[in-house]
Structures are given as C-alpha cells and as structure tokens.
Structure 1
Amino acid sequence: MKKTSLYIVLAAVCGLFAGYLFFADTSDSSAGGAHDHNLEAQSGELWTCSMHPQILQPEPGDCPICGMDLIPSETVDNELSPGQFRMTKNALALADIQTTVVGSNGSTDNSLKLSGTIEANAKAEGTQASYFKGRIEALFVNFEGEEVRNGQKLATLYAPELVSAQQELITAAGLKTTQPELYSAVRNKLKLWKLSDKQISEIEKSGKVQEYFPIYATVSGTVSEIMVKAGDYVDKGTPLFRIANLKTVWAVFDGYENQVPLIKEGQRIEIISKAYPNTPLQGQISFINPVLNASTRTVEIRADLKNPDGKLKPGMFVTGNLKLNRALKEDRIVIPESAVLWTGERSVVYVKTDSSTPVFEMREIEVGDAIKGGYIVLSGLESGAEIVTQGAFTVDATAQLKGKKSMMNDQAGPAETKPEGDSGPNSGNELDFPSDKQEMSFSKDLQRDFIEIIPLYLEMKDALVKGDAGKCKDEALAMAERLDLIQRTGMGETEKFHLSNTLKQLKAIGNSDSLESQRAFFVELNESLIPILQVTGSSSQTLFVQTCPMANNNKGAIWLSAEKEVRNPYYGDAMLACGSVINTIQ
C-alpha cells in the first residue's frame, strides 16, 4: 500500500514537472516570438501602398488614402546614389512600366517626320486689277471659293475717263479715212486699258457710249479673296479679286534649325493628309527658305503637289516623311517619343541602372532631330542604356515622392520617412516643384493677373469633383476670357508656352459638354498652369499641389486645391480620397 502511494506521488511529481517544462517552453516561445517581431520592426520592415509609395506603416493593413491592401516595402538600400531610387515589383506591374535598351538607330526607321499645311500655289495665283479709275457698280462674284473661268464677267464699273475715251473713239471713227493716225491712237489708248479688239469694235459699231463698263476675268481658278465691294471707288491698278488655280498646291512644312542639314532641295517626300490618311502622296522639296523665323526658330520647307481633282484644300493639315541619308544617322542614338518627359527647356528620361533590379535614375538629355516615332539623342545617353519607354510619368511621380531628382525637381534630396502613425498626405516630404521657378519670370502686373484667376480655377476644380460638367464649362470659359486679356509683351518663350497651352486647354474644356473630355483636358491644363503659379505665388492663400498616380490612364496627374484634404477631380465620388499632396504654393 505504501509502495503504491509512493508510485502515485512520484507519478504526480513527474507530471507536474513535465507540465512545467511544456508550458514554460510555450511561454518562452511566445515571448521569443514577440521579441522576434519587435526585432523585425526595428530592423526596418515596413508596409507601403503600391499606388502611394509615400505611405509607410510598421504593420500590414489598408492604405489610408485609397484603401488598397498594404504590401511589404523593400528595405532601403544604402548603396544607392543620392539620385537613384527603387520601386517595388508590384508597383512596376500595376503601373505597367516597360523599358527598352537603346542603341544606334534602334527603335525608329530612317525618316524625318515634318508637320505642315496645304497652301495655294502662289505661282499659279493671279490678281484681277482695275485698269482705270472709277466706282464699282455691281459685283457678280459674291463669295470666296467660287469658281470662275477666263472671260467671265466679274463686275461692272463706272469710269468717267472711259466714258470720255469711248466718245473720242466714236468721233475718230468718222475721221479714220482722213485722219487714220488719230483713229489708231484712240484705239491703242483703249487697248492700254485692257479692252479687247472685240469690245472696241462693238463700241465703234454701235456708236453708243457704255456708262457701266464690264470687267472680265483674265484667268481661270478659285476666288481666294474679294478685295472690294459694290460702291467702292478704285484707282488704276487697285486689286479687285485674287484668283488661285488649285490644280497644283504647296505643302508647307516647318523644319527646326537642327533639321535643316538633313533636308535638300529635290528630295522626295511622302505626304499624308489628315483628310485622306490612307492615300499617301509623293512630292518633291522645291524650296527651303534661306531665312530662319526668329520667333519660332523654324525654316519654311515647301513641296509641290498636283491636285487635279481638287481634294487638297488650303488649310488642311499634312505630315511629311522624308527619307534620310543613312550616313547622317550612323552613330546616333534614337529613342521613342514616349520615353522623353519635357519641362520648359529641359528634356529628361529615366534610366534603369541595373537590368536585374528595379532601380531608376533620372537622366537629363539633349535631343536633336525629331524623326518618325522618336528623337535623336545628342548627349546625355549612351548606347546600351536601358530606359523607361512606357510609364515614365509614373516613375517620375515616384521620384518626386521619394525626394529624388525628377522632371519638376532637378535637385535630389534624401527622402524622409514618416513617423509612425502619421499617414496624412505629404507628411514630412515637401518637393521643390517645379524647376521652371528659376527659368520663368513675370512682371508685377502679370503676377496680379494670374493670381486673380485662382478663384475661377478652384471653382472649376470643385465642379469636376462633383461631376458637374456644366459648371466646369462655365468656369473654364470665364477663366479663358480673363487670360485672353493678359498682355504677352515682355514674356520669354517658356512663359509664352505655358500661358498659350493653359489658354488652349481652358478653351477645350469650355467647348466640351463631356465630363470625361473635360477631365482629360484638365490634365494638360495643370501641367502648364501650376508652373506659372509656382512662380507668381497665390497671394495670401496657400495652395496644395496634389497628385493621383491612377489618373490619366495610370500615367498620373496633378491639380491644385485650397484644402490639404484630398478631393480627387479626376474620379470624383468613385475615388474621392485617392491622391496625396506633393507640394505647397505660398
């Protein structure tokens, strides 16, 4: 009995001891697990949003801006240079970022692309003038574009001198047998006024003076300009009509000064009109203007085209593809148009510094000739470099958010990490946006004019947030009317470019009833207006430059707001809070 009790006690002690060991290990394991988690957090593991990489949280959850699930953020690589930055693989996939390795003549064909318009052939254009002094009694051609033929009556004219000359002819006709020299002199006088022998003979035969003398067309063609109206008094040599023969026309192109060496008279050029895109025409360069247009920095280039059926009409837009001499392009790097970002006079691309890792760096380049599908790079890029050819704007937005060199910020600075719990937009990361602030300047009067349009802009932006296309249209037209009054004297080329594009987009918004179209024009409007306001300031009101990387077909877009809280004008109620603040305008 005692032995049995002893066994029971020993078993109980062993059980207690085993239980102690088991639960002690579990407790220690839990403690160890908690400790490891803290170490993980301390080691720098953070969670971010693939669409808003400025969001950094110490644990998983939802993005406070757009509500998407947070993803693990890649650990900051201290080996990156100040201008480089890393993007997550998820962000690359979502934004559909594509890159291309560039090389000599790599991505475009061997042709130069030119833009121009159809114009009347000045060599085939005639002017119908008055050969005597008088008053226009009636016009028989009343609108421009009317077809006329040689010998057609165009107008009648009362000319006192012609009345006297006709009377002289009738008198001299009775004396032509006795005074033939006088008779001949009177007839020749009328011929100098462009009267035909038939007209003179009719006057002589009838013996009556015509008070209202007809004017007949001396050429056939299309009336391009009517220069008088009934009742006007005209002098000798006064032009009455301008008549163009449109059986041949000119295609007139603008060539930039760095393209001039590539173009020679006599070169064949393929011309495609906007009206007939599937019917290319063959022409020949007939003239290159020897004088450069100082304001546009372009040279006029002209090609002759046959137009027997009259399909090509003056004013039509055309493009020309000019085959280049291959020797001129042998060692030049060509990149696609989609790779280049423009801001003022700067042109930049994004280079993937290592093909195996998603690390990017902005590279400022100098571009030369605009050829079909791309640009020739003069400097800033080497053959074999891997550049972003799709999604460059999204990559640039990431660079801005990380405080790196970007299209709008040519000075790189270290990106700041948000403190835990601060999930508000633009926390601790103000960017110098844009670099045009150093390139543009405005007088005090111009600054005041731009500041006065800010309330109209904010009303238009709020209308887009609410989805009110009618209100947006009204505010855009009012803003365009105000900008139309601004004097452009004293502005530089950069200032004129931004102002002209701002006005163009405002008129486009004002002429559209579609909310989708208005939002599309709003993208380009902000790209020109915001750099201006960055220079002029906003008086006593602080404005917030905000961005949404999902707008503009995932290319990203910016806008201005008077409130720091994001209210997205590109999506409205669909994604009202999607976006972040990237800068402020004081």
Structure 2
Amino acid sequence: MNHHELRSFHDGGGADPGRPASHEPPPGADLMNLVRWALFAGLLVLAAVSIGSYVMSRREAPGSAHTQKRARYYCPMHPSYTSDRPGECPICGMTLEPIPSGGIAAASAGATGTGDVPGLTTVHITPERVQLIGVRTAVVEKRPLAGRVEMAGFVTADEARLKRIQLRVAGWVQDLYLNQTGQAVAVGDPLLSIYSPELYQSEQEYLIEIGARDSTTAAPHDGGGHEAGAASSARTRLILLGVPPEELKRLDRTQVASAHLTLRSPVVGTVLERGVTQGQYVAADTPLFTVADFARVWVLADLYELDFGRVRVGDRAIFTADALPGQPREGSIELVSPVVSTGTRTLKARFSLDNHDGRLRPGMFGRVAVAGRGGQALVVPDEAVIHSGEHDYVFLARAGGHFEPRLVWTGSRDGDRIQVLKGVAAGDTVVASASFLIDSESRLKAAIAGLGGASGAGSMPGMDMSAPPAPGHAH
C-alpha cells in the first residue's frame, strides 16, 4: 500500500462510500448553551427591575412634595432635621424655626451677610464642628427686668445739718479753744475769745443810755420816753452783734463795759473746717468754723443714665458699707438729681440714714441696692455679649451653620442676663458659649479677605474660610 492509499484509508476511504460522514457536538456543549440562556434571562430581569424602579420613582414624586409640605419646622443649625410640629432639635437643643416660603435652601442662602462689626465677617461652621467646640445658642427674649438696681454709693454729711459759725463784730482772736478739725463739740462749749474795740464801744454806749434812762426815771420830765427808747435800741444793737445773754446780764449787773467776748458753740456736732488761728484779725465776714451733726447722714449713689427710668423718689434703698459687711441700713430715695455728670455719665440718687451710733463716717464707700421699677426689655445671656473695648457685639446664629457678627448696645444687668437696647430683635438666635472661637475665626477670615488671600488658605478643621474670588481672577 503506497502513501496515497494509506492516507485514504485513515481518512475513511475504506468506509462505505454511500454513508455520510458523522458530525457529533463536542462534550459540554449542552451545558454551555444552558449557562448562556441563564445569563440572558438575568439581563432581562435586571432591565425590567430598572425600568420599574424608574417608573415608580416618577409616580412617587408628587407624594414626596406632599411629604415636604408637612415638614413645617427645621433646625437652623442642622437644616437636615425637619419636623411637622414646633419643638427643639434633638441634635443641638436649638428651638426649631418655621420653614420659610422659599424653603430651607433659600433661608441658608439669605444668611450670608458679612455683619456690621469692623474687622469681623460672617463665618460658616459645619454641624460636626459646632458640636465639637461646644457651641450653645440662646434666643433673644423680651421680658420684664427685675426691679433691683445695684449701684455704688458713699456716705456724706447731711447738708441740712451743716452749720457755719461766724462773728458779727471785728477784732483779734486772743484765745482759741477749738484748735483742730475732727473735734466734737456740744452746745455751749467755748470756741474762742476775741478782743474787739467795736464791741467795747457798743457796750459803753449801752451803759450810757441806761444811765440816762435811770436818771430820767428818778426825775421825770417830758424826755423820759426818749431815753428809755434809746437804751432799748442800744441793747438791741448788742444782741444783733451776737453778744450772748449771759454777757448782757453781766453788763447790767456790773455796769462795766468789756472789750473781750467769748464765742460759744450754738450747735452739737463735729468740726469739719477751721478757718481761724490764734492772734488773727477777723471780721464779720470771716468764716471761723464749720460744724456738722452726723446723727443723720446722706448716702449718694451713682445712677447710670441707662437706669434713669428704674429709680424713683420714694423707692426703698439699702446701703451696706464695705467697712461694715452684714450690717445693711435702710432708707428711701429722697432725690434723683436732674443733672448728669459729663465725666461719668451718671447722676446722683440721694437718701438719708440714721447714724446715732456714729458708725457711718463721711467718705465711706459701699453698695446700694434699690428696689426699682423694671419694664419690658430685650435680654440675652451675659456671656453672649463680647466686649472688645471699642464695641459690644454678639454672633447671630443663621441657618446652614452661618454666624454673623452684630453690633449691640447694652443696658442694665439682671442676674446672668443683660439688657440689649439696640442691635437685635426678639426671636433672634445668638451664640451663648464658645463665642471666642467663632470670634477668632471671623477675625482671621476678615483679615485674609482684606489682604486678598487665596481661597486655599489654611483654616481650622470644619470651618469654611474660602473668600469669593476677586473679579477678573481665574481659578
């Protein structure tokens, strides 16, 4: 068998020529067909599910809008939290606010003002950062202030109990019995003795008129009435010159004129001023001594002009001296001065206190508490107000985590609250804690914006410090 015959044999040449060749599928072909159809069926199911989900989402869109309308309140600090009823945010405890007509996004967009505090600007803080730094907010309230007003006060002499002692004749001081201030005197105590030729001449004239009167009485004639009247006029002159009754009695008894006169105290009290020395020549207009009776004293309190309307005449006042702690003394307001001091911007409120024990001394300082009359006022927590030395301001908590600096004018304090006269309105939300962190970030952002810094400048984590790009700058 040659080569061609052998190949023909292997190719089936030896088979029956009338029988066609066999083409059987390879092993595993049926399994592969089954897997192919299974994948095709899965793709059809997946396509059907996708189309169904899309159709269902389109059908549920009106229902979603209806659900959003039911959410009427939201948290300005966490806008993602909404509710259909008023209350507090469970995340930060802030009071929920009504959703504005434009929606929460519109409220967030409207809270991008820069504020009115020089050197500060509005800063944005993420909710996570708000929780981390412990920001706490409070709502500006309008409520009656407590009537109690605290003031600084001091003790001074009662002007109605001040006495100025002077002579009515001129002369020279011979003896000075009261030679230092602070000495206590009683009625009748000798103060000084004076040598006065004027007094001697007046007494001599009185004695002459007495002699003429007595001689007329012994020998009556038509001029007796004239001499009696002249004697009475001379005696009245001595009284007007300040000659005391005991000196007049001595003069009537001895009939001897004297150029010396002892001046005695007409009042009781303490010498505050001494304007005379021994041997000095004094006239009728020379102030000798000023004596004050401290049995009753005045207390003058500094009332700030912001509290003018809270203190009235007749209000109960309690004074506690710093030197006498735990010993309050009570009085009532007698006068509120109509004049404001241009230096301190205060006026004086005055009341009197009994001081028979002498423990209150002029010049003593202390605290005055007045049960004044409070009215309705806007108040915020005292810690919410930042005092920079030049301005007082707060940070308003806006929607979407924006904090806006706002200038305020403050009034009186009421415990841990402080009155705000201008700058905020009732219902505004202010930062009540961690203000210094927000203040620092606001200053830094304002400084970077002022220097034209790039928006990629570093900032504290969680705080947005990006400034809007300047016109014409590409980013």
Same fold (TM over 0.5): yes
Question: What is the CA-CA distance between 1:195 and the residue it aligns to?
Answer: 1.8
Structure having the higher Rg: 2
Give the superposition deviation at 1:397. 4.7
Show the 5 A alignment for 1:137-536.
137-178=174-215, 179-326=227-374, 328-329=375-376, 332-342=377-387, 346-353=391-398, 360-369=403-412, 375-385=418-428, 387=430, 396-397=439-440, 399-403=442-446
Question: How far did residue 230 of structure 1 move?
Answer: 3.0
Cα gap change, 1:88/1:144 in structure 2, threshold over 3 Å: closer, same or farther?
Answer: farther
Q: TM-score, normalised by structure 1?
A: 0.49
* Aligned twin of 2:168: 131
Q: Tell me, what secondary structure is at the counterpart of 2:420?
A: strand
| Contact 1:321/1:372, CA 8 A, preserved across alignment | no
Post-superposition Cα deviations, 1:402-457, rounded to whole Å, max 9, x if no partner, equal 4369xxxxx9888778989xxxxxxxxxxxxxxxxxxxxxxxxxxxxxxxxxxxxx
Deviation of 1:291 after TM superposition, in Å, equals 3.4
Tell me if the contact between 2:312 and 2:333 (Cα under 8 Å) persists in the aligned partners: yes
Asked if residue 103 in structure 1 is aligned to residue 148 in structure 2, the reply is: no
User: What secondary structure sits across from 1:199 in the alignment?
Assistant: helix
Deviations 1:471-526 (A, max 9, x none): xxxxxxxxxxxxxxxxxxxxxxxxxxxxxxxxxxxxxxxxxxxxxxxxxxxxxxxx
Aligned residues of 2:123 and 2:438 also touching (Cα < 8 A)? no
Please tell me whether residue 122 in structure 1 is matched to residue 167 in structure 2: no
CA–CA separation in structure 1 for the residues paired with 2:390 and 2:329: 35
**1:122 Cα shift?**
0.7
Shift of residue 220, structure 1, vs aligned partner: 1.0
Change (3 A) 1:212 1:394: farther
Partners of 1:93 and 1:126 lie apart in 2 by 69
Residues 134 and 233, structure 1, Cα contact 8 Å, conserved in 2: yes
Distance 2:437 2:192 in 1: 65
Cα distance change, pair 342–242 in 1 and its aligned pair in 2 (3 A): farther
Q: Residue 344 of structure 1: CA displacement?
A: 6.1
Q: Is the CA contact (8 Å cut-off) linking 2:140 and 2:424 kept in structure 1? A: no
Q: Note closer, same or farther for the CA distance 1:414–1:309 as it changes in structure 2 (3 Å cut).
A: farther
Q: 1:364: how far off? A: 0.6
C-alpha distance in structure 2 between counterparts of 1:94 and 1:131, whole Å: 84
| Conserved? CA contact 1:402–1:416, under 8 Å | no
Shift of the alpha carbon at 1:175? 4.2
Report the number of matched residues.
Answer: 333
- Asked if structure 2 preserves the Cα contact closer than 8 Å seen for 1:147 and 1:222, the reply is yes
- On the 8 A contact 1:137/1:230 being kept in 2, the answer is yes
Distance in 2, Cα, partners of 1:185 & 1:115: 56
User: What is the correspondence of 1:568-583 to structure 2 with a 5 Å cutoff?
Assistant: none
Checking the alignment, whether the CA contact within 8 Å between 1:341 and 1:347 is kept in structure 2 is yes
Query: 1:399 and 1:152 mapped to 2: Cα distance?
Result: 74
Distance 1:170 1:96, change over 3 A: farther
Q: CA deviation at 1:241?
A: 1.4
CA distance in 2, matches of 1:138, 1:182: 33
1:161 Cα deviation after fit: 0.5
The within-5 A match list for 1:12-23 is none
Are the equivalent residues in 2 in contact too, given 1:113–1:372 (CA < 8 A)? no
**Quick check: 1:84 aligned with 2:122?**
yes
Superposed CA deviations along residues 325-368 of structure 1, whole A, max 9, x for unmatched, are: 35x22xx12245554444566322344557x97x7543211223
What SS is found at the alignment partner of 1:141? coil
Tell me the distance in 1 between the aligned counterparts of 2:325 and 2:140.
30
Contact 1:169 1:204 in 2 (8 A): no
Over residues 141-185 of structure 1, what are the superposed CA-to-partner deviations in whole Å (9 max), with x where a residue is unaligned? 233322111111112222221122233344445444224433332
AA matched with 2:326:
N
Residue type of the alignment partner of 1:272: T
Q: Which residue of 2 aligns with 1:112?
A: 149
Structure-2 separation of matches of 1:162 and 1:367: 67
Quote the Cα distance in structure 2 between the aligned partners of 1:288 and 1:133: 42
Instruction: Measure, in 2, the Cα distance between the counterparts of 1:124 and 1:229.
Output: 25
1:205 maps to a residue whose letter is R
Unmatched tracts of structure 2, length 5 or more = 1-108, 115-120, 216-226, 459-475
> What is the CA–CA distance in structure 2 between the aligned matches of 1:229 and 1:391, rounded to whole Å?
67
Higher relative contact order (CA 8 A, sep 6+): 2
For the aligned residue pairs, the C-alpha RMSD in angstroms reads: 4.0
Q: SS of 2:338's equivalent? A: coil
- Give the Cα–Cα distance (whole angstroms) in 2 for the partners of residues 94 and 132 of structure 1: 86
Q: Secondary structure at the match of 2:271?
A: strand
- 2:324 aligns to what SS in structure 1? coil
**Separation (CA, whole Å) in 2 of partners of 1:89 and 1:272:** 49
CA distance in structure 2 between the partners assigned to 1:351 and 1:200 by the alignment: 84
